[in-house]
Structure 1
Amino acid sequence: MTSAAPGESDPVIDALLRAATVHLGARDGAPPWGTGFFVAPGTLLTCAHVLAPHLRGDAGRIFKVGGPELNGGEPLDARLDRWLLDGGPLPEHKVPVEQDLALVRLLDPDAEHECVWLTDRTDYAGGRGVVLGYRPGGEAQPHRAVPWKATARVNGFDDEYGLRIRPEAEFPKGGSGSPVLDAHTGAVVGVLKSRRTGRDGGLAIAVTALRRFGPAYQELTAAHDRWHGHSPKVTGHNWIERQHQLPGTGVQTGGDHWSPRDRREALAHLAAVHPPDGIRPLAELAKKARGGTAAPPGQLLPHAWRDGHGLLYEAGRPAAAIAALHYLQLVVEYDRARGGDPAPLADWVLRRLQDVPRIVHTVVTQATLPPGLRQDPGSDGASDRRLVIRYPRPGDGRAVVIVELEPVVDAAPPRFYWRIRVDDGHDVNEPLHEAQTGDGTPPEGLVRELRAPLAEVFASVDAPGAPAPLEVALPADHFDTAVHRWQLTEMARLHHPAYVGVRRMVVLRDISRRGEPHVDWLDRWRRTADAAALTACRTPPARQVPRPRHLTEMPAAGVPVLCRPAGSGVGRRAIGMALDAGHGLALWQTDAHPDQGCADFCEEVHEGAAALLARTAGADELPDRLRRIRDDISGSRSGGHWAEGVALLYDDPCRPLPFDADGPVDSP
C-alpha cells in the first residue's frame, strides 16, 4: 500500500481502522443494532443509545459482535461493561451527548483483535476525517451487516463533547457508534452519534468524553497504551509507523523532535505508573513542562498521565522533545516522592536523552517538582505517612477545640446557640465561652461572633508549629456548613492563611451523639481503626437510591463518600443512614449538586477521595491529609479542585461529647 496524498487518509490506517471496527447485534440473527470499535484488549466503544433499547430490563444481556477480521469472521459473545447513562429509566429517544458512550466487554478475554489509536490531545481543532462502520442490509438482506465508509469534515463544536460534521457527508441509518478518524494525525477523535434527518452531515461525540468514566477511564487508556506499546514496530503495518507518513504527527524524528514512536513508548511507560492524586498534580506538571505557561484556555481538565502529555501540543503540533521529556521526568519525580518505583520510565527517559542537545539534557535531569507538590523538608519520599500529624487520641495530652452549635427550637430561618470547650484529655465539661440565651445567632453571623473567643482559646492551647484541631459539632441537617472556609481573622498575616481549614485540622461531629456512645458506633470505629487501609465507598452507589444496607454492609475499612451535600435530599438520607449504621468517618461535597444526576465533577470527587484514602494509613491520619490538600488549594488558588468544598466527619466515640442535661438534645 502507498502513502496518503496530502489531505487524504492513509490507506493502511484505514485498513487498521476497519479491522478494529465491528457490528453489534442480537445472538438470534436479528438486524444489526449499530457499530462499535475496539479501544483496548477485549473492550470496545459504542454509543449508549445503540444498546439501550435492547438492554432495557436486562443490562446483563449477552449479545454478539462481529466483523470479517475478528475471530475468523465468527461473531463473539459480549456484554455491557458500563455506560455513561445516569440513573432512572432508559431513554426512549435522544440521549445527551455527554452520556452517550458505552463500553462493551468480550466474554472471551483471549480473543485477538486490532485496536484503534485514540488521540491523546485534550483539544481538537477539527478538519478532514474518515468515518466507517456497518449498516443493515436493507429490505433485501435486513440481517446482514454491510460495511460503509465516508469522508467527513468536522467544522463545528457543540458544548464540551459534540463534534459537528459539515453537510457534505452522508451517513446511513444504523451507523451510530462508528469511529471518526482524523486524517491529519491518524488518530480516532470521535464516535458517530447521529445523522441529520433527510440531510447530509451529523454529530459525533469527542473521545475526550471517555474521561467521564472516572477511574475506569484511567484503566482503559492504560490498557490501550500498553497494547500499542507492544504492537509490531518494524513491519509498517501498525498505527504508529503509518502515522510517521502524516503531516500532523511530526514527520521528523530523533533529536529535539517528538515523533509518534516517542509518543507510543512514552505513553506505554506512563501506563505503568501509579495514577496521579487528582487533577491538580497533572495540570501543575504539564504547566511546568511547558516552561511555566498554562495550556491554552478551553481545554478539558486532564485525568490520566496521557492527558498531561496531551496538554503539551502547541497549535495542534506535536510537543518538542524538551517539553515531553521534561514532563516525563517530572512524573518520575512525582511518583518517587510518593514511594513509587517508576524505574522503566526513568530508564527510558535517560536513553532518549542521548539523542537530544545538551540544553535539553540539562533541563530534564535537573527537573524538580513545583513547590506545592514537593515533599516536606526532611522527607525521603518513601514513607509519606511519617510526615502526617495524627489526630489527637484520648489521653495523649494534646488539646482539641470544640464548638457546639445547637439550633434554636422552632426558629425560622435557623439560628444557633453555641459553646466553646477544650478537650485536653482531662475535663471538657466546663464551657469556656457560650451564648445560650436570647434569639440565637444566624448562620451568617457565626463566624463574626466566634472570632474573638476562638482566638483567645487557640492562643492558650496551640503548640508552636502545631495548631490545635477544631471540631464543630452540629445537627446533621446543617452538615453543609463549610466550616473549613471560615475566616477567623479579617486581616491575616501573609504566612498565616485566613481560612481555618488551611491552618489547622477541621472536622465535623454529630451533636446528637452526646453522652455514652452507642454500641454500633463504638464497634464500627474500633473495627475501622484496626483496618490496614481505608477505602472510599460511593454513597449511594452510582444510579441507586440510598438504602440502609449500603451502610450497614460496608466493610470496616470503608468510608462513605458523597459527591453531594449532606444536609438535604438524597445526601441527607444517605448521611442519616451512615450515622445510624455507626459510621464515624465520612466525606461529602458541601457545594451544590446537579439536579439531573452526577456530572464530571462528581467523578473527580470520587476519584480524588479514593486516592486520598488509599494513601491514608489509619483514621487519625485523614484530617491532616485533607488539611494539606486544602493548603495546596489555597496556595495554588485552584477553585475547581475536587476537595475545595469537601467536609469531613470525624466523630470519635472514644472522646464523646459530654451530655448536657439542660440542652435540647437527648443522649442516644
Structure 2
Amino acid sequence: MSEGNDRLYELARAATVHLLPARGAGTPLWGSGFFVAPGWVLTAAHVLRPHLAQDTGTVFRVRGDGVDAEARLEQWLLTDARRTPVPLEEDLALVRLAGEPEEQHHECVWLGDRAVRHSGVLKVCGYYPGPPETHFRIVDAEINGHEDRHGLIIKPDIDFPSGVSGGPLLDPETGAVVGLIKSRRKQQDGGKAVAISALRRFGRTYRTVMAAHDRWHGGEPQSPAGDNWIDLQGGPPAGGGEQWTPADRREALRLLAELPPPPDAPTVELLAKKARSHNQWPGGTPALLTWRDGAGLLYEGARPLEALTFLRYLRYVELYTSSRGGDATALGHWIGVRLRREPRRAMHDFVRDAHLPEALHPAPGGGPGRIVIPYPGPGEGGTVAVLLDPVIGARPARFFWQIWYDDGHGEPELHEADGSRHGHDPAALVQAMRGPLGALLRAKDQEGRPVPLEVALPGEYFDTAVHRWRFDDIAELNDAGHLGARRQVVLRALERRGDPDKLWSERWQAMAAQQGFSGWRTAAQGDFPGVNGYRGAAFDRIPVMCRPAGRGPGRTAMRLALQSGHGVALWHVDGHSSGACPASCDTLYARAEELLGTLGSLAELPDLIRHVRQEVSELRADRAWAEPVALLYDDPRRPLPSEEGGTLDAPL
C-alpha cells in the first residue's frame, strides 16, 4: 500500500459518517453515509426508511470524524416507501445537517465528472456496529458485474455487516468515490452497490449539491494532515500544457459551478459534441443536468482528452452564458490563462475561433415567443420517433410500439421497445408509453425548442389523433397539455421505413426548394386525382382533404399520394367519409390555403401548425377549424429505421 493511497484513505475516513437516532445512549447505528458537499450527506435510502417512513421530517444524528450534528432528510428517490426490497436506482437519500454550511467544517469526498460504472478493485468504507463500539473500517473489494442501469455487483470474497450500508466505494486508481454500498448478498459473501451516476436522478437538488461540491474542492481545502483529494489523484504534471490535469479539472469545475445552470440536456450534449468535433463518446449518453456533466463526456475510457478539447467546451459554455446575459468573465479569463500554457500555438484558434451553433443562438426579441422554428433536416437537430406496428390478425386493432431517437448526425438509436406479448389497443397506447416517451422528450427538449415528435403508422391508421395525446394528468392552468400544442407533432408512413424510393426523394427535394405554397383540394365531392394527377402535381401544391385518411375515398386518396412520392399532406381526422361536402369543408380549405400561403419554406409547416394548435387551446374561435387537422411530414432524408425480422403476429 503506497503512502499516497494511505493519505487518500485517510481523507475517505474523514468524510465517512454513520447515522443513528437523535437521542439515546448506546443506540445502534442505522447505517453509514458520506459528505459530498458542506452540510450534505449521501446515504442509502433503505438505511433511513425504517425510521422515517412514517415521518420524513424526523430529526436524527450524523456522527463522524469531528462531526456530531442533528440532521434531516432532504430528499430520497423512493417512489413507494413500502416497497421491498428497494430498487437499486431508488436506493439513494440526501441528508442535510442542521445549521449553515459555512459554519460546518468537515471533509468531503471527490466525485468525478464521468457518469460511468466502475469495474475492478476498490475500497469499501463504512462504520461497523461493534462490539465493543461503532468503529470505521476500510476493506478491499472488487466490482465484477453490473445490474440494471446503476447497479454494481461486488465480488463474493468479502463479508461486511449491515452497518456499512450507505458507505462510499473509493476507486484508488482515480481517487474518486464511484458508488455507495446497498446491501450484502443473502447467504453468501459480497454484495451490491449503487453507482454514483444515480445521484443525477435527484434533478435540481443534484445541481445544487454538485455546485457546492465543486466550489468546496475548488477552494483547495486542506485536511489536518495538509492533504486534498486533487493532489492525491496523480495524473500528468501541471507543467505539461497539452494534457488535462486534475488541477485543471478542479478549477474548470469550480468556475462552471458559478454560472447559471444549462437550460436543458440537449444544449449540454450539443456543446460537448462540438468540442469533440462531433466524434461520439463511447457508450450511451447519460443524464446531463449541469455543465460539469458535459465535461464528463470528454474522455476516452478513464483518460481525459487533450486540454484543447476541454478548453473548447469551456469556450462554448462561456459564449452560451454570455449570449443569455450571464456573467462568464472569470471563466473566459481562466480559459485565456490556461491556453497560454498550451505549447501548440498553431492550435489555439481551435479554442479562440469557437462560435455557437446556429441552433443555440438566442431567439429574436430576447425570447422564444411565437417565432417559427424550422423542422430539422439532416444535421440540424434531433427528433423522437414512435413506430406503431399493428399486430397482424388482431381485431380490433392493437399495436406494438418502439421509441427511437435521431440526433441528426447518424443512425437513429432505439430508446425503448414494447415488452408486452399482445400489444396495446389505441386507447391504452399513451399510458403504456407515458414513462419512457415522456422521459425521453423531457431529456431532449431545449429551452424554447421542444424536440419534434414523429409518429409512424400504416396509412390506414392515419386518423389516429396523436396531436391530441397528453402525458400529464395534472397540468398548470396556462399549460396547453396536449402534445400538438407543446411541440411539433407529425405523422409518417410506416410502410416507407428504410431506404426511400426515387419518386419520394425527388419530390421532396423539389418541394424543399420552393418558397411559396398553396393548398390542393383533393378527394372533393368523392372525386380524387388518379396516379397521374398526383405524380404530375406542381411541387408547390400540398394535398388537403376534408375527409379522414383511413377510410372511404380519403384512404384511396392517401394511398395514391404516398405511392406517387408525396411527403406532405393535411387532412381532417374526423371528417366525412362519403357524400357531398358540407359548408364547413369550404372553411377548412380556405383557412388551410391562407395558412400555407404564409410559409417561407416547407420546413416551417410543422411549427406553424403547432402555433395554430396552441391558439386552439387558447380558445381562439378563428382557429377551431385546425383542431381536427393532422399533418403528414415524411422527410426521406431522415428515413425511419428499417424493419428487422418479420411481421408481428397476434399470439395464439
TM-score by length of 1: 0.59
Instruction: Show the counterpart of 1:451.
Output: 571
- Select which of 85, 93, 98 maps to 1:107: 98
Q: Give, in angstroms, the shift of residue 67 of structure 1.
A: 1.2
Distance of 1:290 and 1:461 partners within structure 2: 41
Aligned to 2:116: 123
Partner of 1:505: 611
The one of 4, 10, 19 aligned to 1:15: 10
Q: Per the alignment, do residues 208 and 238 of structure 1 end up closer, same or farther by CA in structure 2, a change over 3 Å counting?
A: same
Name the structure 1 match of 2:57: 60
Give the alignment partner of residue 22 of structure 2, picking from 12, 27, 30. 27
Going from structure 1 to structure 2, the CA distance change for 1:34 and 1:366 (only over 3 Å counts) comes to same
Q: Aligned residue for 2:230?
A: 240
SS in 2 for 1:10: helix
Inter-partner Cα distance in structure 2 for 1:496 and 1:150:
64
The 3-state SS of whatever aligns with 1:151 is strand
- Assess if the C-alpha contact under 8 Å between 2:372 and 2:608 holds in 1: no
Query: Aligned partners of 1:369, 1:511: CA distance in 2, in Å?
Result: 34
Match in the other structure for 2:367 = 385
What corresponds to 2:313 in structure 1? 327
**Counterpart code for 2:339:** L
Distance 1:284 1:390, change over 3 A: closer
- Call closer, same or farther: CA 1:207–1:442 in 2, change over 3 Å: farther
Deviation of 1:386 (Å): 8.1
Output the CA distance in 2 between the equivalents of 1:638 and 1:270. 38
Unaligned runs of 5+ in 1: 392-411, 419-431, 467-494, 516-630, 640-668
1:338 maps to which of 317, 320, 324? 324
Residue 351 to residue 200, structure 1, CA distance change in 2 (3 Å)? same
Mapping of 1:535-550 within 5 angstroms? none
How far is the alpha carbon of 1:292 from its aligned partner? Answer: 1.4
Alpha-carbon RMSD across the aligned residues, in angstroms, is 3.9
Partner of 1:505: helix, strand, or coil? Answer: helix
- Aligned residue runs from structure 1 range 275-286, under 5 A: 275-286=261-272
Residue pairs, 1:8-407, within 5 angstroms: 10-29=5-24, 30-70=27-67, 75-86=68-79, 88-91=80-83, 93-109=84-100, 110-138=103-131, 141=132, 144-232=133-221, 237-244=227-234, 249-250=235-236, 253-356=239-342, 357-375=344-362, 384-385=366-367, 389=371
TM-score of the pair, normalised by structure 2: 0.60
Cα deviation for residue 299 of structure 1 reads: 4.2
For the 8 Å contact 1:285–1:327, the answer to whether it is kept is yes
**Secondary structure, in 3 states, of the residue corresponding to 2:603?**
coil
Counterparts in 2 of 1:365 and 1:216: CA distance versus 1, 3 Å: same
Query: Residues 352, 226 of structure 1: CA spacing in aligned structure 2 closer, same or farther, 3 A cutoff?
Result: same
- For residues 387 and 350 of structure 1, do their structure 2 counterparts lie closer, same or farther at Cα, with a shift above 3 Å needed? farther
Q: 1:372 to 1:450 in 2, by over 3 A?
A: closer
- Provide the rounded CA distance (Å) in 2 between the counterparts of 1:297 and 1:123: 9
Distance in structure 2 (CA, Å) of the matches to 1:331 and 1:455 = 47
> Is the contact made by 2:272 and 2:295 (CA closer than 8 Å) also made in structure 1?
yes
CA offset at residue 28 of structure 1?
2.5
- Change in Cα spacing, 1:180 to 1:499, as seen in structure 2 (3 Å) is farther
Change beyond 3 A, Cα 1:509–1:193: same
Q: Distance in 1 between matches of 2:464 and 2:348?
A: 63
1:237 is matched by which residue type in structure 2? D
Structure 1 residue 148 displacement after superposition = 1.6
- Counterpart of 2:606, as a letter, is V
Counterpart AA for 1:460: E
- List per-residue Cα deviations over 1:505-547 (Å, max 9, x = no partner): 24357889799xxxxxxxxxxxxxxxxxxxxxxxxxxxxxxxx
The alpha-carbon distance between structure 1 residues 89 and 390, as it changes in their structure 2 partners (threshold 3 A), is same
Deviation readout 1:476-521 (Å, 9 max, x if unpaired):
xxxxxxxxxxxxxxxxxxx523862377524357889799xxxxxx
CA distance in 2, matches of 1:637, 1:59: 50
Separation (CA, whole Å) in 2 of partners of 1:37 and 1:85 = 19
Show CA shifts across 1:6-28 (max 9, x none).
Answer: xx971111111111110100022
Asked if structure 1 preserves the Cα contact closer than 8 Å seen for 2:372 and 2:604, the reply is: no
State the one-letter code of the partner of 2:129: P
Q: Secondary structure at the match of 1:82?
A: strand
TM-aligned CA distance change 1:353 to 1:184, over 3 Å = same
Q: 1:280 to 1:514 in 2, by over 3 A?
A: closer
Q: Which amino acid aligns with 1:294?
A: Q
Work out the CA distance in 1 between the residues paired with 2:295 and 2:173: 19
Counterparts of 1:188 and 1:359 in 2: how far apart (Å)?
38
Q: 1:25 to 1:443 in 2, by over 3 A?
A: farther
**Following the alignment from structure 1 to structure 2, what is the Cα–Cα distance between the partners of residues 433 and 637?**
26
Structure 1 residue 69, shift from structure 2 partner = 2.6
Indicate the SS of the match to 1:113.
coil
Asked if the contact 1:135/1:147 (under 8 Å) is kept, the reply is: yes
The answer to whether the 8 A contact 2:124-2:141 is kept is yes
Q: Distance in 2 between matches of 1:214 and 1:441?
A: 46
Would the aligned equivalents of 2:31 and 2:165 in 1 still touch at CA under 8 Å?
yes
Instruction: Kindly provide the CA deviation profile for residues 587-610 of structure 1, in whole angstroms up to 9, marking residues without a partner as x.
Output: xxxxxxxxxxxxxxxxxxxxxxxx
In 2, are the aligned partners of 1:122 and 1:302 still within 8 Å (CA)?
no
Residue in 2 that maps onto 1:622:
none
In 2, the alpha carbon distance for the partners of 1:79 and 1:159 equals: 29
Measure, in 2, the Cα distance between the counterparts of 1:264 and 1:638: 43
Summarize the Cα distance change of 1:317–1:250 in structure 2 as closer, same or farther, 3 Å threshold: farther
Q: How many positions carry a matched residue from both structures?
A: 436
CA distance in structure 2 between the partners assigned to 1:160 and 1:32 by the alignment: 29
Deviation, 1:169, is 2.5
Letter in 1 for 2:199: L
Provide the rounded CA distance (Å) in 1 between the counterparts of 2:640 and 2:266: 8
- The answer to whether the Cα contact below 8 Å between 1:270 and 1:305 also exists between their aligned partners in 2 is yes
- Report deviation, 1:358: 1.1
CA contact (8 A) 1:123 1:299 kept: no
Cα drift, residue 125 of structure 1: 4.5
Note closer, same or farther for the CA distance 1:441–1:61 as it changes in structure 2 (3 Å cut). farther
Paired residue type of 2:249: R
8 Å CA contact 2:238–2:247 kept in 1: the answer is no
Residue pair 2:117, 2:150 contacting (<8 A) in 1 also? no
* Counterparts of 2:256 and 2:171, CA distance in 1: 24
Counterpart secondary structure, 1:95: coil
* Whole-angstrom CA distance in 1 between matches of 2:368 and 2:180: 47
Q: Provide closer, same or farther for how the CA distance between residues 441 and 99 of structure 1 changes in structure 2, counting only shifts above 3 A.
A: farther
Contact 1:267–1:306 (Cα < 8 Å) also in 2: yes
What letter corresponds to residue 500 of structure 1 in structure 2? P
Q: Report the 3-state secondary structure (helix = DSSP H, G, I; strand = E; otherwise coil) of the residue aligned with 2:221.
A: coil
Distance 1:57 1:124, change over 3 A: closer
Task: Say whether the 8 Å CA contact 1:9–1:184 is kept in structure 2.
Answer: no
**Shift in Å, 1:360:** 3.3
| Corresponding letter in the other structure for 1:128 | V
Alpha-carbon distance, 1:458 to partner: 3.4
Distance 1:11 1:444, change over 3 A: farther
